[in-house]
Amino acid sequence: MNTITLLKESKALLEGHFLLSSGRHSNRYFQCARLLQYPDKAEAAVQPLAARLNDDIAAGTLAVDAIVGPALGGIIVAYELGRQLRLPAFFTERDDSGAMTLRRGFEVHQGMCILIAEDVITTGKSSLESIKILEHQGAKVTALSCIVDRRAAGVELPLPLYAAVKLDAANWSDGDCPLCKQGGLPVKPGSRPL
């Protein structure tokens, strides 16, 4: 079953007027938690992603010692990728000040190759913050991964991105949002404070 079908079946693809955790507005929201609540659907959504990663790891074109998922959305994705690739998986999370950190006894060591795993990537903000903290502690982040790549044209990332699916979803800055100009107020279904 393909990823788009899984998103639709689990009602993880929402349409309306949304305030994203990046601060941008959109007419579509991917609530992957609705998909990931079902272990069989999580396994199926991650399987093609894990297969591509495994091929590149086996070919020697990608090095991965562990998978890190930025909380909250990346935790289950990282775990499921780790399970399928037989690699350790853990997560970064925000502290009380809102800064991304590595805690709960999770450790990285000098030169450890890390794959970042997210549910959805729009701007890559959580991944970029995780890269900073992991590399500060000596690890080397080698690639990014996600279930849904919803980046707008022109949003570049500093590392290769492996995505289960690339879906177009408009996203606008607050001042450019046509839905706001029509008088609508956005809903913020995500967990990260702005």
CATH of the domain at 106: 3.40.50.2020
pTM, two decimal places: 0.87
Check: CB of residue 115 under 8 Å from CB of residue 140: no
Note whether residue 142 is domain-resident.
Answer: yes
Domain contains 16: no
Contact 55, 96 (CB under 8 A): no
Beta strands in 71-177 (DSSP E): 89-94, 100-101, 113-121, 140-149, 161-166, 171-172
Q: What does the pLDDT read at residue 193?
A: 59
- 23 part of a folded domain: no
Is 35 part of any domain?
A: no
Classify residue 179: in a domain, yes or no.
no
* pLDDT computed for residue 11 by the predictor: 93
Check residue 170 and give its pLDDT. 83
As for how many domains the chain has, the answer is: 1
Residue 36 inside a domain? The answer is no
- The end-to-end CA distance of the chain, in Å, is 35
Q: What is the SS3 assignment for 23?
A: coil
**Cβ atoms 85, 64 nearer than 8 A:** yes
Beta-bridged to residue 13, according to DSSP, are 30
According to the model, what pLDDT value does residue 122 have? 86
Average pLDDT, 10 consecutive residues per value, the chain (194 residues): 89 91 86 94 96 98 98 95 98 93 93 97 92 96 96 89 91 88 86 58
Does the residue 18 lie in any domain?
no
Provide the residue range defining the domain that includes 52. Answer: 46-169
Q: What pLDDT score was predicted for residue 24? A: 84
82 inside domain: yes
